[in-house]
Amino acid sequence: MNASAELLKELRIDRKSPPPASGGSNGGGRRWLWIAIIVIVLLIAAAVAFLFGRAPAVEVETAPAVAIQQGNASSSVLDASGYVVARRMATVSAKITGKVREVMIEEGMRVEQGQIMATLDPIDADAQRSLYASQLQAARSQVAGLEAQQKQATAEASR
């Protein structure tokens, strides 16, 4: 029974010793105080980083506007060839090639068969026509010369 008595002695509450710190009502209040202090410090740090952590403003330099000189419009030439394609397939072509002088239709306009849609600059065509005319004249004179040679050869052969 000696052992039981000793066990019972251990179960007695000693009222003279201070209570152990168990985190009662005082410890919980302090914990909330520390959490509040940490949150306030973090908010202040975020505000300082936001206000002073920005990149410096970039300076912008504007260039003065300069008027464009009007150039010689006749020196710029657009050479283009191709097809005009409608909603329904239609091939449009010119009988000769050349530079477009005037376009008489606009996109979306209705056109009739045989209607003139554009005019070409006749300078290139005129130059080509005069070249062919001079080549034709040279060929005719060559034919006349060969006919004269044939007559002469026939006359010499009959002698």
Domain locations along the chain: 82-158
End-to-end CA distance of the chain: 179
Instruction: Judge whether 83 and 71 are in contact, CB under 8 Å.
Output: no
Q: Above 80 in pLDDT, residue 38?
A: yes
- What pLDDT is recorded for position 120? 85
Note the pTM of the prediction, 2 decimals. Answer: 0.33
- What pLDDT is recorded for position 130? 93
Q: What is the distance, to the nearest Å, from the Cα of residue 3 to the centroid of all Cα atoms in its chain?
A: 96
Instruction: Judge whether 116 and 90 are in contact, CB under 8 Å.
Output: no
- What pLDDT is recorded for position 26? 59
Phi, psi (5° rounding) for residue 91? -95, 130
Average pLDDT over residues 45-57: 82
Determine the Cα–Cα distance for residues 84 and 28; give it in Å rounded to an integer.
87
- Please, which residues have CB within 8 angstroms of residue 120's CB and are 6 or more apart in sequence? 94, 96, 97, 98, 99, 100, 101
